Amino acid sequence: MKITINYDSSWRNSFLDGNNNQPVPKKGRKYIASITNLKNEKNFIPISVTKDTVMGILNRLIGDQRKLYQSRQSDDYYFADIEDKISCDDKTQLTQEMTYLRNISGSTDQNSFTGSIRSNDVMFNSDYSKEFWGVLALNIDELIDFVVNNNLTTKEISLDPVSVIGKLELLNKEKALIKNENLKKVLAVFIEKFGDINYLNKKEEIVVISLYASALYLQLDRLSKRYDMDTAKTKIGGISGISKRGFTKKDFMDKFTTGEKKKVFGNPYIHETFVKGEGKTKNLMTKASGTLDIMLDISEEKAKEIRTMIYSAGVSSFYLGKKGLAFVDGDISIKEIVK
């Protein structure tokens, strides 16, 4: 028996975690296609037609609208005895298209804020402010001297939220450093003070922003011996929007703005990869059009029964995987398939 499915614009990427072979969590499957998530290669998930896809189609065609895992777990699963006799041939043409996904999860933009800026916040107008934020103005040699020897070279930095976050963003773009003896001493001070925090990237190089972020926490502790630093701390003792490894712009600015965090309502589906010698490559949503032949190696009697069930269910069109349009092409053949 052969059933031919025509389909168009079937999405060949997944933007939710988990899979359809598991019960849906109470809060639903997690959306992993935000701009931030897509920076991680594991969240850019290509998919293709599998046996599960085929079984889902067949169940849909005979009128079974349950999830595939639910059908398989039931005692009345129609295809239980013939799944191993089913195969497919996917003849497809792939294209990549720019697709804008709507994000209804309520997540917020990592790099934006709303409302007016409170530049006169106490963190920028206190006795400690110049010494505290001045750590960010140090060059790397001065930072090493500050951490290891407690020598602070007083350097000017504009004391307002926009200037500080701008400096943090510049430090975040700095090239990672190869470990040397002086930097090892810096890490030793941080680890003794803050515990086993990872300051290294995948190449075992030191991430610059992590050094400066931890240095701020070190300065917070040192200045607390001379000043009342409560106004520089959150309720749990940290620095708003800044961890010992880095910072999050939206959380930092949330403390110094009158508006709420800016919600994300969607984004283009793009994953960028970098290949040495070739540069950056933009990977977009893959869409597929073509035909899917489903072959069932079963008796003529069983084939007629399935064909009758399909005609009785009257499913005119359906999704093939995610989105797109699919439908049964013409008459369903119950002739013997020549392999």
Domain borders along the chain are 2-106+281-328, 122-263
Three-point CA angle 186, 228, 252, nearest 5° = 65
- pLDDT for position 336: 55
**Mean pLDDT estimate for the chain:** 90
- pLDDT for position 323: 84
Q: Which amino acid is at 11?
A: W
CA-closest candidate to residue 88, choices 310, 270, 291: 291
pLDDT digits 0-9 by tens, 167-195 = 999 999 999 999 999 999 999 999 999 98
Q: How far apart are CA 169 and CA 320, in angstroms?
A: 43
Q: How far apart are CA 29 and CA 78, in angstroms?
A: 28
- Are residues 11 and 287 in contact, defined by beta-carbon separation less than 8 angstroms? yes
The answer to whether the predicted template modeling score (pTM) of the entire model surpasses 0.75 is no
Residue 103: DSSP 8-state: -
Q: How far apart are CA 331 and CA 339, in angstroms?
A: 20
102: pLDDT strictly greater than 90: no
Mention every residue, 6+ apart, whose C-beta is less than 8 A from residue 77: 71
- pLDDT for position 116: 80
